[in-house]
Amino acid sequence: MAHGLLPRIGTGRTSRLPGRGKAFVKASMVDESGFSYEYQELEVDMATARETVASLFLHADLTASRAATIDTDAGADSCARTGKKPRRRSA
């Protein structure tokens, strides 16, 4: 494999590659207020990194589908409890 095609982490002369079966992981997050959080780069097992990323995507999909279900069911539940028809705004 050509030297230029190898993945590199870091900048300049301090670049290094992860060990065999390892991966460099760096996490950053932004909360609802717009604050960003940066975490130090870690060298972890490749399997651990893959499982963690898969878990995050699975959790995000479940959270999004629950939120969508709650939003669509909220109107139907309130009508069922009160026995009233849903009100619609006239244009």
58-89 pLDDT tens trace: 988 888 787 777 766 655 555 666 666 666 66
Q: Which is more confidently placed, 27 or 72?
A: 27
- Answering whether pTM is above 0.75, one says no
Q: Can you give the pLDDT at residue 87?
A: 62
Average model confidence (pLDDT) for the chain? 77
Longest dimension (CA), the chain: 71
Q: Can you give the pLDDT at residue 5?
A: 47
Asked if residue 18 lies in contact with residue 9, where contact means CB atoms within 8 angstroms, the answer is yes
Q: How many Å apart are CA 24 and CA 45, to the nearest integer?
A: 9
Asked if residue 12 lies in contact with residue 5, where contact means CB atoms within 8 angstroms, the answer is no
Q: Can you give the pLDDT at residue 22?
A: 95
Residue 21 — pLDDT band, cuts 50, 70, 90? very high
DSSP 8-class letter at 6: S
10 Å Cβ neighbour count for 49? 17
